[in-house]
Amino acid sequence: MQQSSSRRNFIGNAAKAGIGTAMALPVLGSLFSFRNQPTAETFPSPIKTGFDQTPLAFANNALEPYIDAETMDLHYNKHAAAYSKNLKEAVKAENVDPNAFLEDILAKISTYSVKMRNNGGGHYNHELFWKLLTPTATQPSAKLLDLITTNFGSLDNLKAKFTEAAKTRFGSGWAWLIITSDQKLIVTSSPNQDNPLMDIADVKGFPLFALDVWEHSYYLKYRNRRPEYIDNFWNVLNWNYVQERLDSLS
């Protein structure tokens, strides 16, 4: 009974948030079984992240003309590196096991400091983001495309909703495509370095892909033209890694 109540609360919180668009996805029930049932406060993540930066899988200039080399250098070596450094300081100060996984901290981030929240979120978000970028054009698999079509009607509709979420995220933040505990795909966004794995998130779920819309991610090349940066994101999105993340839930 308690588990059923938690599930209803989880769904209710997502509905009240009013962020994103989703449709029922009956076929997912037969395809995916979440390894741990989420509560209203947490969401299980089968992919685990440490506190160190993972080396980039491509050169700084590999994503040009869509993301320029100078931006990649500053973004990875300065901004993201600072999140990792500050996160490890918070981990030490708050007596967290240095071998712990970041996802487990994010699931109860409300019990930690603001420094842990900002830098833990910043490190997780960027570690995910680098893996979602590729200089080689990719396309959604047939399986993934079926799920997208079931939820959004078409890939173009998903792109339109995601683009709108990224464009309208006020100030700094992120746009997300997530899968929820009740097996729906939802487009949402979050402020600052928050993410949908946090217990304080308005909409909780497992991120499939995300876009950084902080100005440091695009301003050197695009200036105030955030919509152009968002449009070009689709040229470098690694759909193969999106599929890997989806497969990790089965």
Give the start-to-end residue ranges of the domains of the chain. 21-34+137-247, 69-131
For position 249, what pLDDT does the model report? 92
Fold for the domain defined by 21-34+137-247: minor pseudopilin epsh fold (3.55.40)
Q: Which residues contact 234 (CB under 8 A, 6 or more apart)?
A: 159
pLDDT digits (tens, 9 = 90+) for 162-219: 999 999 999 999 999 999 988 899 999 999 999 999 999 999 999 999 999 999 999 9
Q: Using an 8 Å Cβ cutoff, are 107 and 196 in contact?
A: no
pLDDT digits (tens, 9 = 90+) for 94-151: 999 999 999 999 999 999 999 999 999 999 999 999 999 999 999 999 999 999 999 9
For position 53, what pLDDT does the model report? 98
Give the pTM. 0.85
pLDDT digits (tens, 9 = 90+) for 222-243: 999 999 999 999 999 999 999 9
Bigger pLDDT: 34 vs 61: 61
Say which DSSP state 79 is in.
I
CATH for 69-131 is: 1.10.287.990
For position 71, what pLDDT does the model report? 98
Instruction: Identify the CA nearest to 140 among candidates 1, 226, 247.
Output: 247
Exposed, middle or buried, 192 (CB in 10 Å: 0-12/13-18/19+)? middle
pLDDT digits (tens, 9 = 90+) for 4-45: 444 444 334 443 333 343 333 333 443 344 444 344 345 678
For position 32, what pLDDT does the model report? 41
What gap in Å lies between CA 47 and CA 60, rounded to an integer? 25
For position 181, what pLDDT does the model report? 85
For position 43, what pLDDT does the model report? 62
Please give the average per-residue pLDDT across 152-163, as a whole number.
98
